[in-house]
Amino acid sequence: MTPLDTGRQDGDTRRQDGCVFCEIVDGRSPARFEHRVSDDGKLLNHPDLAAFHNRLDWARVMLLIVPRTHIAQAEYWTGDLLNEAAKLGIELGESLCPEGFRLISNFGRPAHQSQEHAHLHVVSGAGPPTSHEGPLIAQNGAVAVHRVDTAGVPLSVKLSHRGDATQKQLWTGDHFLRVGRTAIEYASEHTPDGFRLSSEFQSPASGMSGGGDPGLHLHGGGQLDLYM
C-alpha cells in the first residue's frame, strides 16, 4: 500500500487545525495504513476508524487506531466507538503479532500522551511483569476493580467483567464499554493528572487461549515510565 492509501471516508467529521492525526486521516500527511481484508482479498475500510503504523520504531509492530473524527481519549473510551476499536485492535494484533501484543491508551502528559486526538496503541511483544490481583476495592455492577501491586507505580488496579474467561472475551464483549467507562470514572477520581490503560494478549505459542487471563490494567499517579 502507498503511504497515502487512507481509505478516506466522506461525511460529517470534526477536524482540529494542527492535529497530526486529523491530517493523516485526511490524507494531508503520509502514513502506512493497515486494513481489514475480506476473504477475496479486498481491502475493507472502517467507516469510523483508521489504523496506521506509528512513526516510532520502539517495537517490531506499533499501530495506532484512531477515530476519523477528532475526539479526546475519554470520549473514545466512554462512547460507542470503543467496542469497534477494541475488535479492530485485536484483529490486527492477532494478524500482525504472532509473538503476542498489547493494547494501550495513555491519558495526559504524565502518562506520555503526546497527541490530543484519541488513539489506541497496538504494540507487539510482552509488557512489564505484573503481580497477581489483590483484594476487591470497587464494584460497578458486573465490573470488578482489584488492587494490583506493580513496582514503581503508585496506583495500579485491574478491571474485569464477571463471566469473561479470556482477554479476548473481555475486549470483544458487548459489555466492554461499561468496563471502559468504569476505568475512566475510577481514574478521574484517583489519578486525574495522568494514567494508562493497557491489556496484554499472550502469544498462542504460550498455550494460553484467547490471549490469556482477562484484565484491563489502570496505572497512574505521578510521572509514569514509558510504556516500552
Q: What is the CA radius of gyration of the chain?
A: 17
**Is 43 a member of any domain?**
yes
Determine the pLDDT at residue 13: 65
Same domain flag for 90 and 144: no
Same domain flag for 202 and 177: yes
Q: Cell 506520555 appears where?
A: 112
Q: How far apart are CA 225 and CA 228, in angstroms?
A: 8
In the structure grid, which three cell numbers stand for residue 111, read together?
A: 502518562
Q: What CA dihedral angle connects 177, 224, 190 and 132, to 10 degrees?
A: 70
Same domain flag for 39 and 108: yes
Q: Residue 78's CB: how many other CB atoms inside 10 A?
A: 18
Scored b (16 or more CB within 10 A) or e, 110-125 reads: bbbbeeebbbbbbbbb
Determine the pLDDT at residue 228: 73
* Residue at a domain's end among 58, 91, 124: 124
> What is the domain count for the chain?
2
Determine the pLDDT at residue 161: 97
Q: How far apart are CA 71 and CA 16, in angstroms?
A: 9
What range does the domain containing 165 cover? 133-220
Same domain flag for 104 and 25: yes
Quote the pTM value. Answer: 0.90
- Look up residue 86 and give its amino acid: A
**Is 7 a member of any domain?**
no
Same domain flag for 115 and 41: yes
Q: How far apart are CA 31 and CA 59, in angstroms?
A: 17
CATH code for position 103: 3.30.428.10
DSSP H helices, the chain, are 20-26, 73-78, 81-96, 167-172, 176-190
* Residue at a domain's end among 98, 124, 150: 124
Sign of the C-alpha dihedral computed for residues 72, 76, 215 and 55 taken in this order: negative
The residues facing 51 across adjacent strands are 34, 65
Mean pLDDT per block of 10 residues along the chain (228 residues) reads 38 76 93 85 85 93 96 96 96 95 95 95 87 89 94 92 96 96 96 94 92 96 82
CB 226 within 8 A of CB 158: no
> Tens digit of pLDDT for each residue in 168-214?
999 999 999 999 999 999 999 999 889 999 999 999 998 889 999 99
Determine the pLDDT at residue 131: 72
**Is 84 a member of any domain?**
yes
Same domain flag for 114 and 161: no
Same domain flag for 59 and 145: no
